[in-house]
């Protein structure tokens, strides 16, 4: 499985302060991070929900992709961010499988993350952002191993055979 978690749901909004207040009123959500991403022409506010975020995006320029989205669709869900262990490898593999991408190579997103967008034409109509968050080292640990403390891998005989199961009682 390539995906580790839902990193965030991104909303296009026309007024960031109003959108933050809306989420505070409805859900008691509070802002955990704000940042202006010049390259994308947006100001963002992140509201933590468990280990995920709601990402509110307000354009700061008319040529921002979020500004274009707002003109076409009005405010609403803009994209979904999927947490991956290695965005470079995941993007490379998906491209090799013929998936259309928006970003040919990963680039820097907010929070110091490395990100890459996939094209909605290849992702059932949703704009998808792959997110590698260096502050979450557990993303690099696959599957069940995330639930165990590091260094405590199961003994080989437990994963390979049934014979030893009798020896230690099951």
The answer for residues whose C-beta is within 8 angstroms of residue 161's C-beta and 6 or more apart is none
Q: Does 65 bind Co ion (CB under 5 A)?
A: no
With CB under 5 A as the contact rule, the residue among 4, 29, 40, 129 that binds Co ion is: 129
Q: Which residue is nearest to Co ion (CB)?
A: 10
Shortest reach from residue 52's CB to Co ion, in Å: 11
Q: Does 10 bind Co ion (CB under 5 A)?
A: yes
Q: Does 106 bind Co ion (CB under 5 A)?
A: no
Shortest reach from residue 129's CB to Co ion, in Å: 5
For residue 115, the tally of other CB atoms under 10 A from its CB is 22
Nearer to Co ion, 10 or 85 (CB): 10
Q: Does 81 bind Co ion (CB under 5 A)?
A: yes
Separation of alpha carbons 47 and 23, rounded Å: 9
Nearer to Co ion, 52 or 141 (CB): 52
Strand ranges for the chain from DSSP E: 3-12, 31-37, 42-49, 52-59, 76-84, 107-108, 114-118, 128-132
Q: What 3-state DSSP class applies to 16? A: helix
Residues that bind Co ion (CB under 5 A): 10, 81, 129
């Amino acid at each position: 499985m390539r995906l580790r978690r839902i990193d965030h749901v991104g909303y296009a909004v026309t007024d960031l302060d109003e959108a933050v207040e809306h989420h505070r009123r409805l859900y008691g959500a509070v802002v955990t991070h704000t940042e202006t991403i010049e390259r994308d022409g947006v100001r963002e506010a992140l509201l933590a929900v468990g280990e995920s975020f709601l990402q509110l995006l307000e354009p700061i320029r008319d040529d921002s992709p979020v500004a274009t989205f707002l003109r076409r669709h009005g405010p609403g869900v803009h994209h979904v961010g999927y947490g991956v262990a290695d965005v470079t490898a995941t993007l490379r593999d998906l491209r090799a499988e013929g998936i259309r991408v928006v970003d040919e190579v990963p680039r820097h997103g907010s929070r110091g993350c490395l990100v890459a967008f996939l094209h909605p034409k290849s992702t059932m109509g949703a704009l998808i952002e792959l997110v590698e968050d260096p502050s979450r080292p557990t993303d690099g640990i696959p599957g069940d191993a995330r639930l165990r403390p590091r260094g405590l891998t199961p003994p080989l005989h437990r994963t390979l055979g049934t014979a030893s199961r009798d020896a230690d009682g099951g």
